[in-house]
Amino acid sequence: MNKIFKYISSSLMVLGVLAFTACSPDDYSGANSNGIPNVTDYSDNFTISVNQETNVATFSFTGAAGVQPVWIVNGDTYSTDFTTSKYYRKAGEYTVECKIMNANGISDGSIIKSFTVDHTIMNGFAGFKVDFEHNIMKDASFSLNRFWYAPGWSQIADPGYSIGSGEITINTPVATTDQWQAQCFFNVDGIEPIKAGTNYDGSVIFTSTADHPHVTLKICSAADENNTLFYKDGIALQADEPLCVWFSDVPANQDISDLMYIFDLGGNADNSSIVIESFVIKDHAYDDGTVLPKPAEAVFEYNNPANIWLTIDNEQAYTMSYYYAPGWAQIADPELIYQGDGNYSVTLPSATWERWQAQVTMVTNGLAVKAGVDYDFSVTIESNNAVTATAKFTQSDNDNNFLPGTDGTFNIDADGSYTFQVAKAQFASDADAVKLVFDFGGNPDNTQIKISQIIFQQHRE
pLDDT at residue 11 tops 80: no
Q: Is residue 302 part of a domain?
A: no
User: 154 and 230: one domain?
Assistant: yes
Q: Which of 117, 149, 184 is the last residue of a domain?
A: 117
* Domain hosting residue 146, numbered range: 141-283
pLDDT value at position 31? 54
User: 351 and 432: one domain?
Assistant: yes
Q: Is residue 17 part of a domain?
A: no
Q: Which of 267, 283, 299 is the last residue of a domain?
A: 283
Distance linking the first and last C-alpha atoms of the chain: 59
Query: In sequence order, what are the beta bridge partners of 186?
Result: 144, 261
Contacts of 214 (CB under 8 A, 6+ apart): 179, 233, 234, 235, 236, 266, 267, 400
pLDDT at residue 18 tops 80: no
Over residues 416-445, the mean pLDDT reads 96
Over residues 117-134, the mean pLDDT reads 91
User: Would you place residue 1 in the very low, low, confident or very high pLDDT band (cuts 50, 70, 90)?
Assistant: very low
Give the DSSP letter of residue 198. Answer: -
Q: Is residue 25 part of a domain?
A: no
As a whole-number percent, the residues of the chain with pLDDT over 70 amount to 93
pLDDT value at position 385? 96
Mapping DSSP to helix (H, G, I), strand (E, B) and coil, where does residue 15 land?
A: helix
Please give the tally of structural domains in the chain. Answer: 3
pLDDT value at position 356? 94
- Burial 287-319, CB ≥16 within 10 A → b, else e: eeebeeeeeeebebebeeeebbbbebbeeeebe
* Complete DSSP assignment for 123-180: SS---S-TT-TT-TTTT-EEEEEEEEE-GGG---SPPEEEEETTEEEEEE-S---STT
Q: Is residue 248 part of a domain?
A: yes
Over residues 340-368, the mean pLDDT reads 96
User: Would you place residue 233 in the very low, low, confident or very high pLDDT band (cuts 50, 70, 90)?
Assistant: confident
CATH number of the domain where residue 75 is located: 2.60.40.10
Over residues 369-380, the mean pLDDT reads 97
Give the integer Cα–Cα distance in Å for 401 and 426. 10
User: 385 and 453: one domain?
Assistant: yes
User: 315 and 450: one domain?
Assistant: yes
pLDDT value at position 15? 37
pLDDT value at position 243? 94
Q: Is residue 264 part of a domain?
A: yes
* pLDDT tens digits, 41-66: 999 999 999 999 899 999 999 978 88
* pLDDT tens digits, 313-323: 999 999 999 99
Give the integer Cα–Cα distance in Å for 183 and 253. 25
* Least confident among 114-118, 329-333, 445-449: 114-118
* pLDDT tens digits, 84-121: 999 998 888 899 999 999 989 999 889 999 999 988 88
User: 316 and 437: one domain?
Assistant: yes
Q: Regarding beta strands 212-221 and 259-264, do their DSSP bridges make them parallel or antiparallel, or are they unpaired?
A: antiparallel
User: 329 and 448: one domain?
Assistant: yes
CATH number of the domain where residue 213 is located: 2.60.120.260
User: 110 and 174: one domain?
Assistant: no
pLDDT at residue 20 tops 60: no
User: 216 and 277: one domain?
Assistant: yes
CB 137 within 8 A of CB 127: no
* Complete DSSP assignment for 215-265: EEEEEEESS-TTSEEEEEEEEEE-BT--EEEEEEEEEPSS-BSSEEEEEE-
Q: Is residue 184 part of a domain?
A: yes
pLDDT at residue 354 tops 80: yes
Q: Which of 268, 283, 298 is the last residue of a domain?
A: 283
User: 161 and 279: one domain?
Assistant: yes
Q: Regarding beta strands 375-383 and 447-458, do their DSSP bridges make them parallel or antiparallel, or are they unpaired?
A: antiparallel
User: 368 and 427: one domain?
Assistant: yes
User: 279 and 312: one domain?
Assistant: no
**SS3 sequence of 95-134:** EEEEEEEECCEECCCCEEEEEEECCCCCCCCCCCCCCCCC
Q: Is residue 30 part of a domain?
A: no
Contacts of 259 (CB under 8 A, 6+ apart): 187, 188, 191, 193, 194, 219, 220, 221, 222, 229
User: 157 and 107: one domain?
Assistant: no
- The answer, as to whether pTM is greater than 0.75, is no
Q: Is residue 393 part of a domain?
A: yes
pLDDT value at position 33? 58
pLDDT at residue 9 tops 80: no
* pLDDT tens digits, 158-199: 999 999 989 999 999 999 999 899 999 999 999 999 999 999
